[in-house]
Each structure stands twice: as C-alpha cells, then as structure tokens.
Amino acid sequence: MSDNNFYSIDKLVEFGMGITIANQMASSMNQSLNQMEIPGAGKAMPSSIETVYYAVMNDTQMGPYSITELSRLITDKKIVKETYVWKPGMKQWDLVENIPEVLRLIALTPPPIPNP
C-alpha cells in the first residue's frame, strides 16, 4: 500500500485524531456559548420570584397571597368570580373573571362533594 492512499494506517490515524480534536473543539465552543450572556437579550425571570395577589374580602384589602394561597381561598369559596383582585403591574383592581390566570384557578377547583 502506498502512503498516499486514504486507507493507509497513517492517514486513518490522522483522520481519527482530526475528528477527535474537532469534537473537543465543538464541545468547548458549545459550552462557552451556553455560558455567554447576550447584551439586551434579557434573562428569564427566576422561578423563585412568585407573583403576589391582593383581594378585597369583606370590604377590606387582604394579602399579599401567593398563587397557592389564592387557590386555597378559592377552594374555601372566600374568593369567587365577583371578587376584586389586584397584582403588581395592574393599573387598577379588577374582577377575578377578568384575570385569566386567577379565573383558571376557579375553573380547576372541584365542586363540593355531594351529600348522599
């Protein structure tokens, strides 16, 4: 076999080493790109920050409540579709039926257990 043949041992070893080095470079570049911050692209909100809600119950502002606490109040029928709710970012108080993420909680709340 000639040394110029692609299938010669030297060429195959050289080709294998080239592939290995290319894979290592690609892996290193991907890791660097994943850690890179792009100015102006913004970051996702950390999941530890939870939206808080306030509700008007018995003509009194109550809260702040987490979504879990709000769900409990809905289950206990203390908050209904006609309850006024506010969260940071809203211009004014609004009825639960006009706030999709809270109205969804009411729709997902099971009805009372029937009495036999």
Q: Residues 8, 31: one domain?
A: yes
Q: Residues 61, 92: one domain?
A: yes
Kindly state whether residue 47 falls inside one of the protein's structural domains.
no
Q: Residues 68, 99: one domain?
A: yes
Question: How many domains does the chain divide into?
Answer: 2
Q: For position 42, what pLDDT does the model report?
A: 55
Kindly state whether residue 12 falls inside one of the protein's structural domains.
yes
Kindly state whether residue 2 falls inside one of the protein's structural domains.
yes
Q: For position 46, what pLDDT does the model report?
A: 45
CATH number at residue 80: 3.30.1490
pLDDT in tens, 7-50: 677 777 787 788 888 778 888 877 777 777 666 555 544 445 67
Q: Residues 75, 32: one domain?
A: no
Mean pLDDT of 83-91: 93
In this predicted structure, the answer to whether residue 2 has a pLDDT above a threshold of 60 is no
In this predicted structure, the answer to whether residue 3 has a pLDDT above a threshold of 80 is no
Q: In terms of Cα–Cα distance, which of 20, 18, 24 is closest to 10? A: 18
DSSP element (H, E) containing 30: helix 9-35
Q: For position 90, what pLDDT does the model report?
A: 92
The structure tokens listed for 108 are 């997902």
Q: Which domain holds residue 32?
A: 1-42
Q: Residues 58, 103: one domain?
A: yes
pLDDT in tens, 44-85: 444 456 789 999 999 999 999 998 899 899 988 899 999 999
Q: Catalogue the E-assigned strands of the chain.
A: 53-57, 60-65, 84-86, 94-95
Q: Judge contact between 88 and 57, C-beta under 8 A.
A: no
pTM given for the model: 0.54
